[in-house]
Amino acid sequence: MSTDLHVRRRPSPQKALTGTLKWVLLGVGIVVALVPFVWMVTGSFRTEADLFGAPASLLPEQWSLHGYRGIWEELPFMRLVMNSFIFAGVTTALCLVFDSMFAYALARIKFRGSTLCFWLVIATLMVPFQVTLIPVFVELFHLGWLDTYHGLIIPRATSAFGIFMLRQFFISIPRELDEAARIDGAGHLRIYWQIILPLAKPALATLAVLHFMNLWNDLLWPLIVTSSTEMRTLPAALTLFGGQHVNDHAVLLAGATLSLLPLALAFFLAQRYFVAGVATTGLK
């Protein structure tokens, strides 16, 4: 009897083959995704002659720190990293505050025109950032905010995607919590700060990681708004090594490798909340 049950519990050959095929495809996908990153990291330790002599090789023939020395000698690297942290960090914090406040109003407060406001937010998702770039640049020029921190940060201090994402998460929180808080005399600000935000930590962490990654890697906006090397972020400053006639690829790869480290650290620190936020956003 026990032998028969044991035999029956064994997966069929078809299911076993399907499972094996899934793992093979997953492994191939992982390799395809990781090879460019491995080539970037190892390429940052190669010389220019090695890069062009054997571009398909993953390992350098001779390890060299030329790229990293070039980053420190030819660019104000620490200033660029500080600018990137200020731009990405402060803008992410402001986005979390403003997006969550707007999302709370759309999700938990009934007012005339709330549906229209929500659809206007959705409509802005369909407008490419490049469409509004010139009007915003002209406005910053008249305000005298070009090549400044507030010129970099304030126009990016909110996002339609963040409002939409947090609204969907806030809707999934039971309204009975709001009613219980109102019985105790709490207003909207207290409900938002002491009830909704603590329960929305997974969504906030997910949005923070997405915003930080997007802003840290942003090239076009800092390149347009800033003009001096001292105010540029790391991705924008690396374009100095991408001239028409001169390209120092080792320095570019070294800079790209160093710029990847904060993103990896941010993701690993918020990985638990990130996965939970992606899994639960929009579910009731």
Interhelix angle 77-108/114-124, nearest 10 degrees:
150
Same domain, 141 and 244: yes
Does residue 146 come out as left (phi exceeding 0), alpha (psi in the -120 to 50 range) or beta? beta
Chain length of the chain: 284
Sign of CA dihedral 141, 144, 149, 154: negative
Same domain, 161 and 33: no
- Is the pLDDT reported for residue 69 higher than 90? no
pLDDT at 92: 95
Query: Which pLDDT tens digit goes with each residue over 82-135?
Result: 999 999 999 999 999 999 999 999 999 988 888 999 999 999 988 888 888 999
pLDDT at 147: 93
Q: Is 284 helix (H, G, I), strand (E, B) or coil?
A: coil
pTM equals 0.82
* Separation CA 138–CA 271 (nearest Å): 39
Please say which residue of 66, 95, 113 terminates a domain: 66
Token pair listed for 37? 């990153």
Same domain, 33 and 112: no
Average pLDDT over residues 208-236: 91
pLDDT at 10: 64
The average confidence (pLDDT) of the chain is 85
- Is the pLDDT reported for residue 273 higher than 90? no
Token pair listed for 206? 């997910």
Give me the percent of the chain exceeding a pLDDT of 70: 88
Token pair listed for 182? 């109102």
Same domain, 139 and 90: yes
- Is the pLDDT reported for residue 52 higher than 50? yes
Please say which residue of 43, 66, 89 terminates a domain: 66
CA separation, residue 283 to residues 107, 168, 172, 176, 192 (Å): 14, 8, 6, 17, 20
The conformation of residue 247, written as its DSSP 8-state character, comes to B
- Is the pLDDT reported for residue 185 higher than 70? yes
Average pLDDT over residues 264-280: 67
The domain in which residue 87 lies consists of 75-280
pLDDT at 206: 87
Please say which residue of 66, 99, 115 terminates a domain: 66
Q: What are phi and psi of 234, to 5 degrees?
A: -60, -45
Same domain, 33 and 95: no
Q: Which has more confidence, 242 or 259?
A: 259
pLDDT at 275: 62
Same domain, 84 and 217: yes
The residues near 154 (Cβ < 8 Å, ≥ 6 apart) are: 145
Same domain, 222 and 123: yes
Same domain, 118 and 238: yes
Same domain, 171 and 261: yes
pLDDT at 244: 46
Q: Which has more confidence, 284 or 132?
A: 132
Same domain, 98 and 20: no
Count: domains in the chain: 2
Asked whether 248 and 241 are in contact (CB, 8 A), the reply is yes
Same domain, 136 and 269: yes
Same domain, 19 and 156: no
- Is the pLDDT reported for residue 284 higher than 70? no
10 Å CB burial of residue 274 (0-12, 13-18, 19+) is: buried
